[in-house]
Structure 1
Amino acid sequence: MKDNQQIIIFDTTLRDGEQSPGAAMTKEEKIRIARQLEKLGVNVIEAGFAAASPGDFDAIHTIAGLIHNSTVCSLARASENDVRRAGEAIQPAMQHPEKNGRIHTFIATSKIHMENKLRMTEDQVVDRAVQAVKWALEYTHDVEFSAEDAVRSDIDFLVRVFDAVIEAGATTINVPDTVGYSIPAPWGERMTTLIQRVKHSDKVVWSTHCHNDLGMAVANSLA
């Protein structure tokens, strides 16, 4: 939310929703869902993960050309290839002034992920996050950054990362509960703390992406 009066709906049915068991969708099914989401007035449709497969790329590319009233988005890891594929996939949405495409890039910021998955230091993660935003800006002015596993990330480090990516040009900051670990009170407190401490927090849209492992996704989002 930019302020207390504006709520932006970011729907990830076509990307994260498809990861649910038995929820694989054909291109035609994705197009049908995207059209319905547009009719519902959804602000942003995350149509897939362009670098994941040729099928995902094709679906995003097609949807980006068909949807007119919602922003079409592709997910991308903080790698040059991922961002490039995302940028290419959303190009049909960039052909007309009234349309828009978004790149949603992410990197893990929790100690357990940085040490055991990324094998990167904090400095390296910050540098990569900034570089990913800069790569994305070569394709679109609408760039979202997510700190994967933010719920288990050190709050001081999150502030540092968010400060850096906002300075680099990110326009939306997403704080995900990647492992579905949190409950409403501490999650709301974490969001409030970040918004208060991050420089220029008023210049970006703040977003949250909560998983439902504990049945708390909606409650956490509202918190």
Structure 2
Amino acid sequence: MDNHITIFDTTLRDGEQSPGYSMNKPEKLRLALQLEKLGVDVIEAGFPIASDGDYETVKEIGKTIKKSTIAALCRTRQVDLESAVSSLEHAAKPRIHTFIATSDIHLQHKLQMSREEVLESAVNAVEFAKSHYDDIEFSAEDASRSDPEFLIDIFTAVIEAGATTINVPDTVGYALPWEYADLIKTLHDNIPNIDQATISVHCHNDLGLAVANSLMAVRNGARQIECTVNGIGERAGNASLEEVVMAIETRKNNMDYTTGINTKEIYPSSQMLAQITGKGVQPNKAIVGENAFAHEAGIHQHGVLKNPLTYEIMTPDSVGLTSNKIVIGKHSGRFALGKKLEELGYHLNKEDLNRVYTMVTKLADEQKVVNDEDLMNLMATTKYSKEKPDKSVVAGG
């Protein structure tokens, strides 16, 4: 089986549906160009039927982007399909992504349709889309709460109708990793024409399991992961692109998979999205958070300064950062403080460093973090030896 994992980015569609994350046409185009630079295989540009603005944005992105496939989302309704097909008329690599719910709870309470009617609607939609474009994706909304036997039936039928990707969404973030793995394996092993299509997964993070579920799906036959920059999306968000990609990159000893992502563009992409939306990234967010490569504890600081591998499993440079960050706070040690002061031009002997360390820890108790300006102000009012000390006598720890 091919070990390349297609990265399908839905930041511009599912991500934008997050409250407060809406983007206008120029902003979406700017981010789409960055996603292309990032190396995303598929960019889901929007939901054309949703509004005239969404339609025009998908159209403009399709005209502009040449390397990435551009997907337009649509329900299986005819008016949706026609809008999606039209929006992609100028795209170099167009994909129609059509969907309908398959769980009994959605059929009964939302669609008020039978399984037979849903299957027929799905097949008709795929056939119509296939008459216009070759690259067709079909999603079974709420797949993780659907009857696996019905999923096998509907996926078999849409592949026969021309679908080249079948998506198995954990729409409400309900699945546990081992459950989701079993579902993907069941589909992979029992859909008779599965060799004609790629299995895709689209996981939400309601239980904080979106990335884990996506990786478990890959281990069981999925070869496309749908995700978003910074993990944004409906409710608690989608699987985080940066986490999925860096898990694969960092743990190649355990997962022999590849992506086409230029990982050095991960942090710039994260920052661009934050700047466009005005929504910052949580400080402890994996990979791209402010604290992802920051160290305050003295033991950690000492180890990282000696060899970053002691506490960092990937380099800051690998995701587009210039360096890690040593934070001076009440947990910091003398070794890290001495190194930070050296960066600022202050070379203290052991006695002076001990004295300054005591002052810094008191200041840190008052204001949590001591920044470079605080240190320079402190040193400006502190007496210390101006002679550069012998390195052998400078305290560590």
Q: Confirm whether residue 20 of structure 1 aligns to residue 18 of structure 2.
A: yes
1:118 to 91, 111, 120: 111
Structure 1 residue aligned with 2:33: 35
Q: Secondary structure at the match of 2:126?
A: helix
Counterpart of 1:12, as a letter, is: T
Alignment of 1:194-209 (within 5 A): 194-209=187-202
Q: Confirm whether residue 216 of structure 1 aligns to residue 209 of structure 2.
A: yes
Q: Distance in 2 between matches of 1:158 and 1:66?
A: 36
Counterpart of 2:101, as a letter, is: A
Alignment of 1:130-169 (within 5 A): 130-169=123-162
2:181 to 174, 185, 188: 188
Runs of 4+ in 1 over 4 A off after TM superposition: none
Q: Secondary structure at the match of 1:9?
A: strand
Alignment of 1:63-74 (within 5 A): 63-74=61-72
Structure 1 residue aligned with 2:74: 76
Deviation, structure 1 residue 107: 0.4
Counterpart of 1:110, as a letter, is: S
Deviation, structure 1 residue 178: 0.5
1:137-183 CA distance string (max 9 Å, x none): 12211000000000110000000000100000000000000111111
Structure 2 residue aligned with 1:102: 95
Instruction: Pick the structure with more strand per residue.
Output: 1
Q: Secondary structure at the match of 2:90?
A: helix
Q: Distance in 2 between matches of 1:5 and 1:176?
A: 21
Deviation, structure 1 residue 119: 0.8
Deviation, structure 1 residue 4: 4.3
Q: Confirm whether residue 5 of structure 1 aligns to residue 3 of structure 2.
A: yes
Which runs of no fewer than 5 residues in structure 1 stay unpaired?
A: 94-98
Deviation, structure 1 residue 200: 1.1
Q: Secondary structure at the match of 2:13?
A: coil
Q: Secondary structure at the match of 2:139?
A: strand
Q: Distance in 1 between matches of 2:2 and 2:191?
A: 18
Q: Distance in 2 between matches of 1:128 and 1:72?
A: 24
Q: Distance in 1 between matches of 2:2 and 2:143?
A: 23
Counterpart of 2:190, as a letter, is: R
Q: Which has the larger radius of gyration?
A: 2
Counterpart of 1:88, as a letter, is: S
Counterpart of 1:191, as a letter, is: I
1:201-223 CA distance string (max 9 Å, x none): 11111100000111111110000
Q: Distance in 2 between matches of 1:78 and 1:155?
A: 21
Q: Distance in 2 between matches of 1:127 and 1:103?
A: 18
Deviation, structure 1 residue 115: 1.1
Q: Secondary structure at the match of 2:98?
A: strand
TM-score, normalization by structure 2: 0.54
**RMSD value over aligned CA atoms?**
0.7
Q: Distance in 2 between matches of 1:176 and 1:111?
A: 15
Q: Secondary structure at the match of 1:194?
A: helix
TM-score, normalization by structure 1: 0.95
Q: Secondary structure at the match of 2:172?
A: coil
Structure 2 residue aligned with 1:46: 44
Which runs of no fewer than 5 residues in structure 2 stay unpaired?
A: 217-397
Q: Distance in 2 between matches of 1:137 and 1:118?
A: 24
1:20-66 CA distance string (max 9 Å, x none): 11100011110011000000110000000011110100000000000
Q: Distance in 1 between matches of 2:131 and 2:157?
A: 18
Counterpart of 1:162, as a letter, is: F
Q: Secondary structure at the match of 1:92?
A: coil
Deviation, structure 1 residue 186: 0.7
1:85 to 83, 86, 96: 83
